[in-house]
Amino acid sequence: MSAITASKPPGACPAGEGNWRFRFWAPDARQVELVLAGQAVPMWAAGDGWFEVETAAVEGARYRYRIDGGNEVPDPASRWQPEGVHGPSALYRGDYTWRHDDWRGRPWREAVVYELHVGACGGYVGVRAQLPRLAALGITAIELMPLAQFPGSRNWGYDGVLPFAPANAYGTPDELKALVDEAHGLGLMVLLDVVYNHFGPDGNYLGSYASSFFRAGSHTPWGEAIDFGQPAVQGYFIANALMWLEEYRFDGLRLDAVHAIEPTAFLHQLRKAVHAALPADRHVHLVLENEHNQASLLRGGFTAQWDDDFHNALHVLLTGEDEGYYGDYAPQAAAHLARVLGEGFAWQGETTPRGRVRGESSADVPPERFVAFAQNHDQIGNRACGERLSVLVTPERLRVAMALTALTPMVPLFFMGEPWAAREPFLFFTDFQAPLDEAVREGRRREFAHFAAFASAEARRTIPDPNAASTFEASRAPWPAGDDALAGAWLAWFGGLLALRARELMPHLDQARPLGGRVIGESAVAAGWQLGGAQWWIELNLGRATLPSALPPGRDLLRTGPMEEGELPPDRLRVRRVGP
């Protein structure tokens, strides 16, 4: 078979009695040798570009593959790269003893997601130390930014080149498993962001021995396009997804930029393989990032999609920014937000102001299929200086943003530091060697040349160098000290939002049906949902004038600031329950 199967995965696997089986796809090679602990072992051609061998080895032994007697490369399915992307691979058995072996996950309607960068939180051990406080706050799921082995000691993770190897900069594979195990003991789901649409620019050797892994003449914004029509390629990424879900026991995957994966049929192939391989009683969630707003994928079995429309329309209302992709939302930001609240996506097949036809009809898709956020790694880190909303808007407007995110029937996501209104930036950071370091720095600065604030070369030079260690250090958001009164007040308020969601909203999400969203004034929106026998209403005003309340009579569950009955002042949000 040319496809990788669960019984014959790629890479190195224990084969019993002290032996290990090695499988390597190199269709461009005439011969391949396994170089194990300095000794060359010939591999036999198994057909369809596959080379295999079984031989005695010990855990931790270093190995590479030698192509046609020349270059030696790491295993593209390496489970452990202790010396980085250019070093040898290491044998890893994965014999971790799980303490919470009966964990089966949680239903998606219970998800309140906290996205974090493992390196900025102190590695696997550092994240594990934060888990009890996150659980006590009301977070029910953590989402780790990508872990695939990347070049150097710091990276967002989207430059990974060895997707089976957890980044050695953050700790060992067993420490990652201990993090997941600890989270499960606290009732937390753990989701992992995976990147299947591209490889990073440094350390990917596949093109030198498996050129058909990529589509000739086809490119993505990140490099050569991967050929998902190849059975071996399909199997490679399916095996990777199953490794994270089975061996590391992640509760789900966030699939990065699936609009760059072609053909789309691979996504359904992946979804079916995951559900076929895992027990029926496990809750496993597959969440998409998809600029194409393909609601059909959500009807077709995927759990949810990150809803950029929610963020973009809300951000324009909060900040007034209208450059870049915010230009698609600025002319009618309130109407876009109202449509998101009432129907899921703002763009459902229309042509945007920038001339793109985007989206599919989503009005029939349940609200919990959409992940709502006012901030995430992209929306903060892709700003030139990485500013958070806590720096860009007033506390009153920030409360509106956080409350709206927490209290719609969509699934809320919050970014690292957001619960205490952290003010540290989250910048774009890398650790590339010359000359790639300069190319990335200058490329990053050119991205902002069309923004008014960075029109001059002098202004662009103020944009932090992604490769400087100080850029990474500035992006840490440590848990606030116990005597930080301001952070403590934000944490208490944020915890109250999640408690309200858990008590009043979460138990009824299976029944949530939108009643529609509408514009009620300049930069003001109201929306409602039917929750069984009751209704849930939200109204918010980010305009300049006090408006009459647009909600039907009922019981107010939250007001983000002082307001008179029947009125909605500027920079305020109200949540109301109507009915029993």
Point out the residues that are catalytic.
Answer: 256, 289
Return the CA Rg of the chain: 25
Residue 277: both structure tokens together: 């391989």
Q: What does the DSSP 8-state code read for residue 331?
A: G
Would you mind telling me the total number of residues written for the chain in this entry? 580
**Cα-based distances in Å from 300 to 268, 280, 370, 409, 549:** 8, 18, 14, 20, 39
CA dihedral 100, 101, 107, 113 (to 10 degrees): 40
DSSP 443-490: HHHHTTTTSGGG-SHHHHTTSPPTTSHHHHHHT--PPPPTT-HHHHHH
Of 303, 304, 309, which is closest to residue 291 (Cα–Cα)? 309
First-to-last C-alpha distance (Å) of the chain: 60
Q: Using omega within 30 degrees of 0 as the cis cutoff, is the peptide bond preceding 263 cis?
A: yes
Q: Is the Cα dihedral 468, 469, 470, 475 positive or negative? A: positive
The enclosing H or E element of 528 equals strand 524-531
CA dihedral 383, 388, 392, 398 (to 10 degrees): 140
Q: What does the DSSP 8-state code read for residue 207?
A: G
What are the residues whose beta carbons fall under 8 Å from the beta carbon of 304, sequence distance 6 or more? 108, 285, 287, 288, 298, 368, 369, 370, 371, 411
- Answer whether 139's CB lies under 8 Å from 498's CB: yes
Report which residue type is found at 162.
L
Q: Please, what's the b/e burial string for 478-509 (b: 16 or more CB within 10 A of its CB; e: otherwise)? A: ebbeeeeeebeebbebbeebbebbeebbbebb
Q: What does the DSSP 8-state code read for residue 328?
A: G
Q: Are strands 72-73 and 89-90 parallel, antiparallel or unpaired?
A: unpaired
Query: What are the φ/ψ torsions at residue 258 (nearest 5 degrees)?
Result: -70, -15
The enclosing H or E element of 304 equals strand 304-306
Distance CA 272, CA 266 (A): 10
